[in-house]
Amino acid sequence: MRKPLFALVLALVAAGPGAAAAAGPARPDIDGVRVWNTLALDAVRATRATDADAARLYAMVDVAMYDAVNGLAAGHAHADRAYALVPGAGPGGGDPQAAAVAAAHAVLIRLDPARAAAYDERLRADLDRLGDGHGVDSGATWGTHVGEAVVAARADDGSTPVETQPAGTGPGVFRAQWSGVQYRNVRPFAVADAHRYVPGPPPALGSLPYAAAFAEVALLGDAALPDPELQATFQFWSLPAGSSQPPGEWLAIALTVAHDRRLPLAGQARLTALLTMALADTTIATVDTKATYRHWRPTTAIREADTDGNPLTQPDPTWTARAGGVGGTPEYVSGHSSYSGAAAAVLAGYFCTDAVPFSHATDSAPGGVPRAYPGFAAAAAEAGRSRVYGGQHFEFSDQAGLAIGHGVAGEVLATRLLRLRGPTHVGACPR
């Protein structure tokens, strides 16, 4: 009697990626990229991961799936696309769907071991649906090899140990200590040097641009001035701990659009790998900017405006942000904005147009009600403005964050996961 398929796959994994023979492709479509990214989103929610940790996890899962699928074509006549992190050719005839789900599984059981049993069960179900055959077995074995290689390659990327910047003092300076500063030195997934996207400083405290941004957030972000629409927009994009975090919402948007457009497995894997690598690398520039400038949040700025040296700003010691809190990291720049800028640019570049309508409900959407957008840039703009409405950021930090994301995304689209032969771009759109 033959072994159950999952047990056979585990035995093949132990034997190494060359142990299984090749066979024909699998028949059913299990939508593995969508299913396993949904599991990754759930992992971030369950572990209450930070936005930086979330972006790294998503990138590792999606890079693994992309390289697993792409590697099955490597070395063959139709192979035409660069790898993301793990080079090498998979077994001829290996099933790409089995490879994708096994790669994601290999990453998640190591990054989220508390839910390993659930991931094992899901992998078993996916492989059973794909059916018997050496193509499924060899594809799964290859995928596991790729996922393990991704985890090993990122083990020393600088994301640990956790570093904390101490609290600051004085006008213009963020007052609380905050953790996660090590991400400014994390090794990028895709760009050559994420630090090149760190912007110049925020407007000087005594300047007119600062006073204008101060006046705007003091009005729009004031909890004492109720406005249902501003409150709802802030809440829609607030995404606190326990949510999928801002990178996760953009990953969910990408999955929806890919599903609506019926992208094939290879197209889905490439889209989500480009997106999540850009999001993870955007983290580096964002955290570096925050750590470099240590700018104070609007709550502190407004309450202590008598110390900023600007005659155009007036203190209000009782002012409270619509969000209800000061904010846990330095103000400049808005991380929501940088992630949104990166994601919108990658999605528009991939589809070669920003005019892709979609609807989406975030984890923090009031009543779970979705919002409709005419394209990615409109959603990114709203996400950034929501931080002003919540009294969390100045508009100059929204704009600087969007610029960081656009810059990172531009490099990713220009240089990564491109065809190895022939034209690599249609204008600025990658091929």
Percent of the chain at pLDDT exceeding 70: 92
DSSP classification of residue 114: G
Minimal CA–CA distance to 190: which of 81, 376, 56, 36? 56
Mean pLDDT is lowest, of 73-82, 128-137, 138-147, 294-303, for 73-82
- How large a percentage of the chain has pLDDT more than 90? 87
Range scoring the smallest mean pLDDT among 35-49, 257-271, 417-431: 417-431
Q: Is the pLDDT of residue 6 over 80?
A: no
Angle at 374 between CA 371 and CA 377, to 5 degrees: 95
Buried b (16+ CB within 10 A) or exposed e, 375-385: bbbbbbbbbbb
pLDDT digits (tens, 9 = 90+) for 47-57: 999 999 999 99
Give the pLDDT confidence of 339-388 residue by residue, as tens digits: 999 999 999 999 999 999 999 999 999 999 999 999 999 999 999 999 99
Quote the pTM value: 0.93
Q: Is the pLDDT of residue 146 over 80?
A: yes
75 pLDDT band, cuts 50/70/90, is: low
| pLDDT confidence tier of residue 410, bands split at 50, 70 and 90 | very high
Predicted pLDDT at 224: 98
Q: Which amino acid is at 237?
A: W
Looking at 85-89, 108-112, 113-117, 332-336, which range is the least confident one? 85-89
Structural domains of the chain sorted by starting position, each given as residue range(s) with its CATH number in brackets: 5-154 (1.20.144), 164-430 (1.10.606.20)
Tell me the mean pLDDT in the region 178-186. Answer: 98
The DSSP annotation for 10-32 comes to: HHHHHH-TTSSPP-PPP-S---H
Q: How confident is the model at residue 23 (pLDDT cuts 50, 70, 90)?
A: very low
Beta-strand ranges (E) seen in 371-410 are 371-373
In this predicted structure, the answer to whether residue 18 has a pLDDT above a threshold of 80 is no
**284-298 pLDDT, tens digit each:** 999 999 999 999 999
**Distance of alpha carbon 59 from alpha carbon 220, whole angstroms:** 35
In the predicted structure, residue 36 carries a pLDDT above the cut 50:
yes
Cα separation of 276 and 350, whole Å? 13
CA distance 305 to 317: 9
pLDDT at 32: 95
Share the mean pLDDT of the chain.
93
